[in-house]
Chains A and B, each alone.
Chain A
């Protein structure tokens, strides 16, 4: 509990990420493809920003740039005013597929960051155990990742990042592949965590419902090359409950957004990008529901 309070103070004013005129190309079959086109985006501190767009809009590239795994061709990215040049534990990514170390127990996975920083043995144990309790995995700390369910793996991964008190959490479709029930529980779980800590979050998803339910701001990118298509503010009150999706405000935002998303997904589809089906399917499901 004490730790969470600590994080509220630290997190709320940290993690201001600014992308300024960022362009990035990559090569595919010797062909140069423009992936991000003079992208300028601001991720405000203490807020939950959701990134949406069809496959091929450069979401993953953007994450790799912010995380420091790649460098932009032009433009710059800063965090709290400092230029990003390499990976660091102030920006931690929770990957789409699990990236837990399969050969380490849950405890050792979570303790990896504190150990790498060279903290004292006692502090490592204390920090790790406290964060495992926060995510409800204290009884599973000696298990290996393969012994955990999908939802537990995601929570272990969140814990492994959170224990380092990062300025920004970057979640790349973190709940993809989970069943519908676990997915909703995880959304609720992360929102609760966010409400308590106000940790700056960049959240990538394909699901519009998930996006609106979680976000302060939804940023929609265009299909190849990635540019900002629209920035949607979500002024729904926090803490949020699932019943919010029945409110008029929610429906208004939903209807404003779905058309634009559909257009971009359609562009991807017309380019024969098979993966665009992902988003079209999830949009279709959403509009059937409503």
Chain B
């Protein structure tokens, strides 16, 4: 019996196997890794050459090798990691408070016309002010430097998330809401089972954009007002005329922003299993 079923299976064509293996390899090497490597190596070569060839205005930039050495030195110092820690805490506090205050406000404004009519005019008056423009007032207003930086990062995340959540609530399909009402959903059901999950994609978008804005504001605030932090570290490298260290600071800030926004994205994907690509 088993004999027949084995022989009954169609023989696997050797060419098919070859195509399959090549497919997997192709994905790994030629599709992604190779162009990625070419792109980065090409950039490093262009960087190196623009200095050796003394291209106008570019010759003052440190060599990639110097930056690498400076980075190597930095990661061995505890002050470098302390800068990371301070910046991450500041982003985390401001961003989190922004979500905790902003998401409910956005939901409320999206759900209730009355609340929107009451809150939106003030919101729209303050929203166009760039978060960085809040720096002087914030320094004067808050008793400690740390609090004023928390406040600034909060501003950076807050307006973005409120606007996105509000838009997310109003983008929920009318027929979806009507279906829920017909099926006997209470107001509470509508809020928790329809409005919140329905606006979740917008919440995640708002958070992803918001974390980027938060880093922007943080770096500016640290350069002007802060003690410690990656922004301050970069600024101090500038005042000391340490060019490679400036670049180390920039790279670190970019990397920190990348890590945090990836984290937000992963959390977002986890929270929305129905949005996974199948």
Contacts and interface: CB of A to CB of B under 8 A. Distances in A.
Interface of A: 67-69, 87-89, 91-93, 95-97, 99, 101-104, 112-113, 116-117, 144-147, 160, 164
B278 A146 contact: yes
Contact of A99 (B176, B193, B274): B176
Contact of B182 (A87, A103, A104): A87
A114 to B, nearest CB: 9
Given A69-B178, A99-B179, A144-B274, 20 more contacts: A67-B182, A87-B178, A88-B184, A92-B183, A95-B175, A95-B179, A97-B173, A97-B175, A99-B173, A99-B176, A101-B176, A102-B274, A103-B272, A104-B193, A104-B197, A112-B185, A145-B274, A146-B278, A160-B183, A164-B183
Given A144-B274, A146-B274, A103 B200 contact: yes
B56 interface: no
Contacts of A160: 179, 183
A99 B184 contact: no
Contacts of A117: 184
Contacts of B181: 69, 87
Interface in B138-189: 173, 175-176, 178-186, 189
A99 B174 CA distance: 9
B198 A103 contact: yes
Contacts of A96: 175
B273 interface: yes
Is chain B's interface secondary structure helix, strand, loop, or mixed overall?
A: helix
Interface of B: 173, 175-176, 178-186, 189, 193-194, 197-198, 200, 272-274, 278
29 contacts: A67-B178, A67-B182, A68-B182, A69-B178, A69-B181, A87-B178, A88-B182, A91-B182, A95-B175, A95-B178, A97-B175, A99-B176, A101-B197, A103-B197, A103-B198, A104-B193, A104-B197, A104-B274, A112-B180, A112-B183, A116-B184, A116-B186, A116-B189, A117-B184, A144-B273, A144-B274, A146-B274, A160-B183, A164-B184
A93 B273 contact: no
Given A101-B176, A103-B272, A144-B273, A92 B182 contact: yes
Contacts of B197: 101, 103-104
B200 to A, nearest CB: 7
Contacts of B184: 88-89, 113, 116-117, 164
Nearest to A118: B184
Contact of B183 (A68, A89, A102, A145): A89
Contacts of A92: 182-183
B168 to A, nearest CB: 12
Given A101-B194, A112-B183, A93 B178 contact: yes
Nearest to A113: B183
Nearest to A97: B175
Contacts of A103: 197-198, 200, 272, 274
Given A101-B176, A116-B189, A146-B278, A93 B198 contact: no
Nearest to A108: B193
B183 A116 contact: yes
A118 B200 CA distance: 26
Contacts of B193: 101, 104, 112
Contacts of B173: 97, 99
Nearest to B198: A103
B203 to A, nearest CB: 12
A113 B181 CA distance: 10
Nearest to A64: B178
Nearest to A102: B274
B234 to A, nearest CB: 42
Contacts of A87: 178, 181-182
A99 B184 CA distance: 15
Contacts of A68: 182
B123 to A, nearest CB: 27
A80 to B, nearest CB: 17
A24 B179 CA distance: 22
A67 B278 CA distance: 35
Contacts of A116: 183-186, 189
B191 to A, nearest CB: 13
A90 to B, nearest CB: 9
A206 to B, nearest CB: 18
A68 B185 CA distance: 15
Contacts of A145: 274
Contact of A89 (B182, B272, B273): B182
A102 B175 CA distance: 12
A78 to B, nearest CB: 18
A145 B177 CA distance: 16
B248 to A, nearest CB: 44
B170 to A, nearest CB: 17
> Which residue among B173, B184, B200 has the maximum number of chain A CB atoms within 10 Å of its CB?
B184
